[in-house]
Amino acid sequence: MKTVLITGACGGIGKATALYFAKNGWNVIATMLCLESGKELSNIKGIACYELDVTSTESVVNCKKQILTEYQTVDLVINNAGVGYRSFVELAEDSQIDAIVDVNWLGVVKVCRAFIPVFRKQNKGLFINITSIAGLVNLPLGSFYHSTKHAVESFSECMAYELRDFNISVATVQFGNTPSNFQKNVVKSEESSISSYNELMEKIDAVLAKKTKKNTDLKQSIVEQLFEIAQNPPQDFKRYTIGFDANFLNIIRKRLGYRLFARLIRKSVF
């Protein structure tokens, strides 16, 4: 029986993924910042919950030690934990910038760094780092969120070169807005005295809410694709783009080039 470790598994995509993998016969290590939020998962056969703060090296190391006393092998690590920050650069706060970098990028780095030796010793393993369409294209008010997702894309591709000789695969997964708690928990800059900023925030909120509402089937597609990747790991680094929105934006960005793509985005939003 194979074993998967999932970060940020207490809700949203992480929780759905944990349930799906357990249903299909995998051992699931569901990690989360607070065990209290994972009560529902802890009662599911095949799922074990662990407390993990991906921003803390000490927490990652301690969680790893605990896991390895209970599991002989870990076949897959899905770096799913993430937070959102929608803000104008001028109004951005240091604490929020630090938080999104610590979770979305450094959290992935710390978890990968901890489990590379495990995979190397096993001579097998797969990292799936969940990014977003934000890791492939750039959209309004995404200065910080997009930056972290681009960073994970670059990090993953570079890391894949290092690990190929050890039969360790690396993949990233991108998708658009899907109904979950993520959008509800996105931190946004507060209304300011700058009317242009306030109007743009309202427009972006409306666009994202509309897209999220339409993507009712996206979550299941993501979970099923994650399972398919787990069953058939790519030999070389590979990006997987899921859903109409993500595929559409990715394709037109490549075909139109920056200037025409930016014009299209401006026309759609402004």
pLDDT at 56: 98
CA 260 to chain centre: 28
pLDDT at 205: 85
**Confidence band of 266 (pLDDT split at 50, 70, 90):** confident
**Cα–Cα distance between 146 and 152 in angstroms, integer?**
10
β-pairing verdict for 238-242 and 3-6: unpaired
Task: Provide the mean pLDDT of the chain.
Answer: 91
pLDDT at 176: 83
Above 70 in pLDDT, residue 178?
no
**Confidence band of 267 (pLDDT split at 50, 70, 90):** confident
Condensed to tens digits (0 to 9), the pLDDT of residues 133-174 reads: 888 888 889 999 999 999 999 999 999 999 999 999 999 999
Burial class (CB in 10 A: 0-12, 13-18, 19+), 188: middle
Nearest one of 134, 156, 153 to 144, comparing CA atoms: 134
pLDDT at 214: 62
* Phi, psi dihedrals of residue 48, rounded to the nearest 5°: -120, 130
Condensed to tens digits (0 to 9), the pLDDT of residues 37-90 reads: 888 998 899 999 999 999 999 999 999 999 999 999 999 999 999 999 999 999
pLDDT at 179: 60
Q: What is the DSSP string of 68-127?
A: HHH-S---EEEE-----EE--GGG--HHHHHHHIIIIIIHHHHHHHHHHHHHHHHT-EEE
Residue 198: its H or E element: helix 195-214
**Confidence band of 208 (pLDDT split at 50, 70, 90):** confident
β-pairing verdict for 47-51 and 27-32: parallel
pLDDT at 64: 98
Above 80 in pLDDT, residue 216?
no
More reliable by pLDDT, 212 or 30: 30
CA distances from 156 to 5, 45, 88, 117, 120 (A): 17, 32, 27, 16, 16
More reliable by pLDDT, 210 or 251: 251
Which of 20-29, 36-45, 106-115, 178-187 is predicted with the least confidence, judged by mean pLDDT?
178-187
Report the number of distinct structural domains present in the chain: 1
Q: Which structural domain, as residue segments, surrounds residue 9?
A: 3-269
pTM equals 0.92
More reliable by pLDDT, 180 or 190: 190
* Strands, E assignment, the chain: 3-6, 27-32, 47-51, 76-79, 85-86, 125-130, 168-175, 187-188, 238-242
CA distances from 151 to 37, 102, 108, 138, 154 (A): 29, 12, 10, 13, 5
Above 70 in pLDDT, residue 222?
yes
Residue 14: its H or E element: helix 12-23
CATH code, domain with 161 = 3.40.50.720
Residues 110-136 have a mean pLDDT of: 95
Burial class (CB in 10 A: 0-12, 13-18, 19+), 204: middle
pLDDT at 22: 98
